[in-house]
Amino acid sequence: MPQGRFSRFSLLKKKDLATMYGMAERRHGLLFHLFDVVLNIVIILAVVGLIRTFLVSPFRVEGNSMTDTLEHQEYIIINKFAYYVGDPVRGDVVVFRPPNDRDKHYVKRIIGTPGDTVIIRSGKVYLKVAGTEDEVELTEPYLNERNSGHTYQHPPSSGNTREVSFEVPEGQYFLLGDNRQGSLDSRSFTPTSFVEAEEISGRVWFVALPISKIHALEPPEYGI
């Protein structure tokens, strides 16, 4: 074969090999890039899932049962971690699943803790704190003018001032909405008035939306 033709053939082969090598590199680079993107998405979703499961989670308020503390359609952030390291306490506003409908989540305020006796009489709430026999009236500064002094037995807007009491079992809680005349809560739950500790998802940490209403929820001072 003439020298010139051999040289041209060799040159073409080298160009083809270089082209194939370049294409292989690009494919490798593209596959590596796609793998990197997918891996990052998986890691992000895993982190978000862990955070939502064990630390904090968003929740949208539906209804007016917590007026004026929380309003309809507000977005709140729930602190779940708090109840991994401690127990719910009186005054906490919490998200939970009620005993009469485990498929739904409610938001209410803890009034009675394990061992307490909650007494509703003449529109007011009284407590016998666990381990005591003294009955004290619960001071509730978070109630608005319409609801202060107007806590009645079920139905909440009945105006029935007859006394009713609830002895809170161990490991369970008694909850009321801040809108006492418009809240379905422990006064009306069935088959039991109480919510088990494991059904409480977390404590309401702060209001996130709308932006104009961003604020943290401060625990009330009952002085009990």
Catalytic residue numbers, as ranges: 65, 108
**Hey, what are 206's tokens?**
């702060």
Eight-state DSSP code of residue 19: H
Distances (CA, A) of 143 to 77, 123, 148, 166: 22, 12, 5, 21
- Residues 72 and 149: beta-carbon distance below 8 Å: no
Backbone angles phi, psi at 82, to 5 degrees: -55, -35
Query: What's at 81, amino acid-wise?
Result: F
Distances (CA, A) of 206 to 110, 203, 213: 16, 9, 10
- Residues 95 and 70: beta-carbon distance below 8 Å: no
Which residues are within 8 A (CB) of 95 and not within 5 positions of it... i.e. 6 or more apart?
59, 78, 105, 106, 107, 200, 201, 202, 204
